[in-house]
Amino acid sequence: MPDQTSQPVNPAARLLNLVIALVNTSVSMTKQQIRTSVAGYADAPSPEAFERMFERDKDSLRDLGIPIVTVDAGGHSDDVGYRIDQDAYALPAVDLTPAEFGVLSLAAQFWQDKTLRTDISRALTKLRAAGAGEVANDAVAGLAPRVRAVGDAYGPLLDAIDALRVVSFTYRAASTGEVRTRTVEPWRIAARRGGWYLLGFDRERLAPRAYRLSRIEGRVRLLGRGGAFTIPDGVDVDALLGARAGTEQEARLAIGPERAEALRARGRSDGDGAGAGPRADGRDVVHVTFTNPHAFADEIAGYGDAVVVLSPAELRDAVVRRLWSAAALGRPPAAVAGQVGSDEQGSTSTEEQRG
């Protein structure tokens, strides 16, 4: 029987204890067994209080979708038992397609918060052990997120946006290094160009502004009451961050059959006129627009030999440099030099890139 002198068990812990007990019972548990063996129910000062507590807990678990069933052992109220229907409660077999598992893997890379990293790693390991996600790499190649850690400001800012509360924080400007206190009506948090940004209305400047979370120093303070402002409709994240300032260019890519689907979805084919269609090597020619050549070269290099850059030449050269750098990782310089032109997979992805 639980120690009567111990601290009272909070309701959430008591519910969890009840679930564990009813899942692990061989047949069922009577009310008396639950009261004497499940932590939390000994806190009830009387049989009537226990009855009320237990009935509330049963209703709460059923509302959560946990199937508690009643087992009548012989018609007497003292013999009535309870258990959780394992067939209804157990998670069915997980059958993920390679693309679905790829999306989960990307999400795991994206949320690399230290409090979640261990649980995420264990979950993916279990899915792989169950046979999920084989040959999933190419389905998401080139989509690996490159967003750095969020930092301590993320949680308070998200709370402030939800409650429509004004925030104040110390911010270091990127251009001048000046450190000033900002008072902002927070609108949205967005991830762009490898970092997290707060978008909102600066009350000192009387204009919309964007702030990189990694430049916020110290604690974010929530000011005043909730509902202090209204978030405007259609906040244009890219416009506030200046993502459209770059010159738009077009790349002409030769993509292997059924490869690099993310690039295909963003581009257009060569057209339906004379001479259109796959090249002699079976690759499809796709035109994709881009504004940041460095980021786009990183993306294309991630596909390896699946994508060959036909033009512009500057982009092709940038991709080739990245591929040679990747080939050289972990190898002595002499070994890398000896493999130039002789490595079958490397020559496909680099020599052809050179044109």
Where do runs of H (alpha helix) occur along the chain? 11-24, 31-37, 47-63, 86-89, 98-110, 117-129, 154-163, 237-241, 261-266, 293-301, 313-328, 333-339, 344-350
Do both 253 and 345 map to the same domain?
A: yes
Please report, for the domain that includes residue 182, its CATH number. Answer: 2.30.30
Q: What pLDDT, on a 0 to 100 scale, did the predictor assign at position 12?
A: 84
Quick: pLDDT tens for 44-82. 889 899 999 999 999 888 888 888 888 876 655 567 889
Packing angle, helices 313-328 and 293-301, rounded to 10: 50
Q: Which tops the pLDDT comparison, 31 or 295? A: 31
- The C-alpha angle with vertex 224 and arms to 219 and 227, in degrees rounded to 5, equals 115
- Please report, rounded to a whole number, the percentage of residues in the chain having pLDDT higher than 90: 24
* pTM for this entry: 0.40
Do both 253 and 336 map to the same domain?
A: yes
Residue pair 235/188 in contact by the 8 Å Cβ criterion: yes
**Of 150, 156, 152, which is closest to residue 221 (Cα–Cα)?**
156
A 10 A CB-CB count for 157 gives 26
40-43: Cβ within 8 A, 24+ apart: 40/2, 40/8, 40/9, 40/11, 40/13, 40/14, 41/2, 41/14, 42/1, 42/2, 42/4, 43/8, 43/9
Do both 182 and 110 map to the same domain?
A: no
Quick: pLDDT tens for 136-165. 455 444 555 555 556 788 888 988 998 999
pLDDT at 95 over 90: no
In a domain, 355, yes or no: no
In a domain, 149, yes or no: no
Q: What pLDDT, on a 0 to 100 scale, did the predictor assign at position 54?
A: 92
Q: Is 106 helix (H, G, I), strand (E, B) or coil?
A: helix
In a domain, 63, yes or no: yes
Quick: pLDDT tens for 242-262. 654 457 789 999 999 888 888
Do both 55 and 135 map to the same domain?
A: no
Quick one: pLDDT band at residue 131, thresholds 50, 70, 90?
low
For the record, the structure tokens of 96 come out as 């993920």
Please report, for the domain that includes residue 17, its CATH number. Answer: 1.10.10
**Of 83, 150, 152, which is closest to residue 111 (Cα–Cα)?**
150
**Average pLDDT of the chain, as a whole number:** 77
In a domain, 145, yes or no: no
Which range among 120-129, 138-147, 186-195, 342-351 shows the weakest confidence by mean pLDDT? 342-351
Q: Which residues form the domain of 259? A: 249-350
Quick: pLDDT tens for 161-211. 989 999 999 998 876 778 899 999 999 988 776 678 899 999 998 989 889
In a domain, 6, yes or no: no
